[in-house]
Structure 1
Amino acid sequence: MNALVRAEVEASAEVAAVRAEAVWLRSELFPSRLGCRPRWAAAMELSAQYLREKLQRDLEAELVEVEDTTPNRCASSFRVLVVSSKFEGKPLLQRHRLVNTCLAEELLHIHAFEQKTLTPEQWTREQQK
């Protein structure tokens, strides 16, 4: 980073100012040790309910369960279960790609994301166990 900064500015006073700004930006852009999303990501209202509704609507899902798995529930880590007939005949990777495509914008702001994707038939069998 220092080499890049020095290449873009002429005077050392400018370098110091840019470094100070970089330190501030780093604290704003990266999550805290607690695993919470940074303040800039708060503009996107991520919540379990929001993700549930979007997955249900876009994947025409019969069932969507979303759990915020962040220790203090600050919406940076989620576990989802999606049951949809759109998964019929698709291998696991293609199912996960469907979910990832649906949540492409949101995943940019999520630290950890775990998903389980089932067809309605698979879900019924799993419930009978």
Structure 2
Amino acid sequence: MKKLFLTLGLCSALMTTATQAENVDQALVIVNSGSLQTQGMAMVLANAMQAKGTQVDVLLCDQAGDLALKSTRSSELKPRNVTPEQLMGKLQQGGAQVSVCALYLPNSQHTQNDLRAGINVAKPPAIADQMLDSNRRIYSF
């Protein structure tokens, strides 16, 4: 009888762990590449995750921070003829929080007034909390 309870307990624990691994429903997408295709693919994948019910947040660093600027007008990417910033806007409409790295503005000639609507400057402690959250996956491009 002890073996049966031990086996049932172990099976229950394994099922709970497997379910938790499958139910990761939060993602942080960190984009630092200046490559148009890399930025576009990061946004395509982030939108696909969001469409599957994942809460997606985006952190733009280094050259990718330029996507956050009102003045940025990227070339359209085939096959859908959309820009990374259009795809990012779709993410925001779906509830994604988009931020630029805390180092982006102080190390550029831009100010917070140059950022698109709804884009903020990331707070390192908040980003660190997201990175340490076991229910959140981190993707870097």
- Give the TM-score, by structure 2 length: 0.29
- Give the TM-score, by structure 1 length: 0.31
Larger Rg: 1
